[in-house]
Amino acid sequence: MDLITDVSRLPGAGPLDGLSDAWHWSPNPRFNFFAALSEDKGHLFQVNVMDICDYDLVRALLTFARERTSEVTSSGRHLVPIEGFSHPGYSFDTMAAAPPGVHGYLVKEHPDLHSVAYAVFPGYRSEFSGTEDEEEAQARVRKMLRPTKLDREPVPFLKMRYDNTRTRSGSTGPHRGFATLPILLRELELLQEAPGSLVEWENRHADVWRAQWDGALHLQGSSAASRPVDLGTLLAFAEQTVTSDNYGL
């Protein structure tokens, strides 16, 4: 496969100013697509952007990916966070890469290019465990992280399950599933005065906590016995566990 020739033939593709072996094309006014050869010339790094597009940020991202080609293309990982990426005017602290099969870029129109293309996008370290399996990585990339939005807010890695006897709502099945921080905080608030209810959550470090109502709010961690806790402290602690590496109660 001659990647330079094949990418150059994509409809509307032209050289990306300021970066060698890189291209830009735009299928419609809302979308801008970018791709650059990896350092070893055997892979593509692709950035898809919807609406607000910052060319300098995209060039910085593709350059960062190229400099870390071996990390991006390392086998056996389905969602690869690489810390150290930053760009003026943004709070991103990480670049993430998703291999073929996780992202859907080029898969229908150009399956040969898809097979060597890695989706790269800016992110936040709190969003990735680094141990996601393929199904989890697909869920995060395609449904939660919005990698095409350069002005997005963090969506921290969070799994939870819950059951509330008062609202008669709960998660499906016995396993924790992906959720967002606002949902976690809302369900923790709803535990009050709901006997037999629980909220269980897991952060990117695989630390797990359970909160429940037993005449009062109680919190239990995987390595700590159950203890009473007030709502304000519980909410602040829960948020800290999924947004920070430093948490304690």
Q: Is the dihedral of CA 152, 153, 155, 156 positive or negative?
A: positive
Q: How many C-alpha atoms does 132 have within 13 Å on its Cβ side?
A: 28
Q: What CA–CA distances, in Å, run from 85 to 94, 99, 120, 170?
A: 5, 19, 12, 38
| pLDDT of 74 | 86
Residue ranges of the alpha helices (H) in 134-245? 134-139, 181-189, 231-243
| pLDDT of 1 | 74
| pLDDT of 76 | 85
Cβ atoms of residues 82 and 95 within 8 Å = yes
Q: In DSSP terms, which residues pair with 200 in a beta bridge?
A: 161, 210
| pLDDT of 224 | 72
DSSP-derived letter for residue 42 is: S
| pLDDT of 225 | 77
Residues 6 or more apart whose CB falls under 8 angstroms from that of 5 comprise none
Averaged in consecutive runs of 10 residues, what is the pLDDT profile of the chain (249 residues)? 90 96 95 97 97 97 98 91 97 97 92 96 97 96 96 97 94 94 98 95 96 94 85 97 88
| pLDDT of 249 | 72
| pLDDT of 217 | 96
Q: What CA–CA distances, in Å, run from 81 to 25, 95, 141?
A: 26, 6, 12
Cβ atoms of residues 121 and 85 within 8 Å = no
Kindly state the helix (H) or strand (E) to which residue 55 belongs, with its residue range: helix 55-67
Name the maximum alpha-carbon separation found in the chain. Answer: 69
CA distance 76 to 222: 28
